[in-house]
């Protein structure tokens, strides 16, 4: 069946993997990628598929009501996969208003446009991708489920929690067709190196200090981005309207242990030793959540999804990609991107 799908934020890290998967796997679909091309959006991420007949790119802001309406009309949009968002916690602390504009107002603009354009039959789907950070922090051995109460602790997670609530409100108020997924920390190819994994890889490669917040005791559940894209594909096609699905990698690691794993793999590949000596403990982030841990049982039971790799396997793939794509990494850590590359990270 032919579908016209608007994917927002499709030039970003997760979005580019989703766009690529849909372009290659579903040639009968028309995929429209709307991306503002901020520092974290990079068309180099999609070089391999940019000339595909079923791919269309539009540069623009999801908060631009006139542009979004035009895209819905021009491409007969009936499906939305919404990934566009400001996503870095540190930046949300210094500029929370930017996160409200993008993550809350931008999402509501998309909802309003779809609500108006799809008419009373609502023959379509609005799929909203969110984060586990909306749940706040959880003590071991607890896990976030789809029924966990929201308890966001940063301006970033508060903005995502707000957008989640608006999506659900449109479903409850207007019977608007939505699904939501909340994912754990992603890693893999094409990730901008303000995030922990690519920052470590780049700093080890260049023998620079590796900044670790506090004592590195914060725990995160790590999800390989290609596994996440596969889960999004499955939820888009088989998810139940009105439902929420948690997506996690079943890989709970302390930040310091993760950094040491990256050091070991990098030392092996670069034929070095003692890269862990580059670790530098830095002042902890304000309000830093201690632990995130996803229970992905629902998506496994109901849709049959589970991660294809554990963290060690996924990290091997990730490090190989960065070492084999030095031009990409050098580009995003220099020149026009330099103002955004601070040597810090989100985790």
pLDDT < 70 regions, the chain: 335-347
Q: Is 243 a catalytic residue?
A: no
Which among 25, 29, 24 is positioned nearest to 4, based on CA atoms?
A: 29
Which pLDDT score is estimated for 345? 43
Q: Is 133 a catalytic residue?
A: yes
Domain ranges of the chain: 4-192+221-251+288-314
Which pLDDT score is estimated for 344? 46
Bridge partners, residue 281, by sequence: 212
Residue whose tokens read 């799929």: 127
Q: Which helix (H) or strand (E) holds 176?
A: none
Q: How many residues does the chain have?
A: 347
Per annotation, catalytic residue among 61, 133, 221, 227: 133
Residue whose tokens read 């309000």: 287
Per annotation, catalytic residue among 132, 164, 221, 289: 132
Q: CB of 83 within 8 A of CB of 40? A: no
Tell me the Cα Rg of the chain. 19
> CA 184 to CA 133: how far, in whole Å?
8
Q: If you classify domain 4-192+221-251+288-314 with CATH, what class do you get?
A: alpha beta
> CA 227 to CA 90: how far, in whole Å?
26
> Which two structure tokens, joined as six digits, stand for 263?
């050091």
Q: Is 39 a catalytic residue?
A: no
What's the predicted TM-score (pTM) here?
0.95
> CA 207 to CA 147: how far, in whole Å?
44
Which pLDDT score is estimated for 120? 81
Per annotation, catalytic residue among 55, 79, 156, 187: 156
């Amino acid at each position: 069946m032919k579908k016209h799908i608007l994917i927002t934020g499709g030039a970003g890290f997760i979005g580019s993997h989703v766009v690529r998967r849909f372009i290659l796997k579903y040639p009968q679909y028309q995929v429209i990628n709307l991306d503002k091309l901020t520092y974290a959006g990079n068309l180099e991420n999609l070089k391999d598929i940019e000339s595909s007949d079923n791919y269309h790119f539009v540069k623009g802001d999801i908060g631009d009501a006139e542009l979004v309406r035009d895209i819905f009309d021009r491409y007969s949009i009936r499906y939305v996969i919404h990934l566009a968002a400001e996503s870095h916690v540190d930046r949300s602390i210094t500029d929370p208003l930017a996160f409200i504009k993008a993550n809350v107002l931008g999402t509501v603009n998309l909802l309003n446009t779809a609500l108006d354009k799809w008419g009373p039959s609502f023959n379509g789907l609005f799929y909203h991708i969110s984060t586990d950070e909306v749940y706040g922090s959880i003590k071991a051995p607890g896990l976030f489920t789809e029924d966990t109460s929201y308890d966001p602790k940063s301006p970033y997670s508060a903005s995502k929690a707000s957008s989640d609530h608006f999506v659900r409100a449109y479903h409850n108020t207007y019977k608007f067709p939505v699904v939501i997924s909340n994912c754990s920390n992603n890693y893999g190819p094409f990730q901008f190196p303000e995030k922990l994994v690519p920052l470590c890889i780049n700093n080890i490669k260049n023998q620079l200090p590796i900044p670790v917040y506090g004592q590195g005791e914060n725990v995160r559940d790590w999800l390989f981005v290609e596994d996440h894209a596969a889960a999004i594909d499955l939820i888009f096609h088989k998810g139940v309207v009105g439902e929420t699905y948690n997506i996690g990698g079943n890989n709970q690691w302390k930040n310091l242990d993760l950094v040491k794993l990256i050091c070991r793999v990098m030392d092996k590949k670069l034929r070095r030793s003692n890269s862990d000596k580059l670790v530098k403990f830095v002042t902890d982030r304000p309000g830093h959540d201690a632990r995130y841990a996803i229970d992905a049982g629902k998506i496994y039971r109901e849709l049959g999804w589970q991660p294809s790799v554990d963290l060690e396997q996924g990290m091997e793939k990730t490090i190989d990609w960065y070492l084999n794509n030095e031009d990409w990494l050098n580009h995003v850590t220099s020149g026009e991107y330099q103002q955004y590359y601070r040597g810090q990270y989100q985790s």
